[in-house]
Amino acid sequence: MEIDREDFRKLFPNLYREMELKKMSVSIDAVRLDREEAEREAERPREPSMPTPIDYLRRCEDDSEAFEVIDYLEKRGEISGKQAEKLRRQVRERGVRSFGKKKEWGYYSTKYLGDGVEE
């Protein structure tokens, strides 16, 4: 069944607005076509690496803290002005949790050491 955009807007005004605002959307950077391969990849242990800006943002309690982190990373030159603005826009439009579930204290030691020792 095909539906015209204007008819959809009239029939489902709230859903239409949410879709237009992209409030609940998540960007996908990569796609695995093979489910078994994806499961093996997720289970494979990885070596710890330097945290990315996203890793730092996932530690934030709220949006205001996320903006502080972005400002700090930009000021130190760890991210470009263009990347900083892209991250700020995502925080403004979708919130800090759009980067993923909050990483709690002890996340890395539990993940990589398996002993639950705090970082």
pLDDT tens sequence across 70-113 = 999 999 999 999 999 999 999 999 899 888 888 877 665 566 66
38 is a domain residue: no
pTM of the model: 0.55
Q: What six digits make up the tokens of 96?
A: 């800090």
Instruction: Tell me the pLDDT band of 116, cut-offs 50, 70 and 90.
Output: very low
State the amino acid at position 34 in one-letter form.
Answer: D
Domain count across the chain = 1
The interaxial angle of helices 81-94 and 63-75, nearest 10 deg, is: 180
Range(s) of the domain holding residue 60: 49-119
Given CA atoms 41, 42, 43, 47 in this order, what sign does their dihedral have? positive
- Give CA separation, 55 vs 27, 66, 97, in Å: 16, 11, 12
CA angle, residues 82, 84, 87, in degrees to nearest 5: 110
Residue holding tokens 């008819």? Answer: 7
Asked whether residue 105 is domain-assigned, the answer is yes
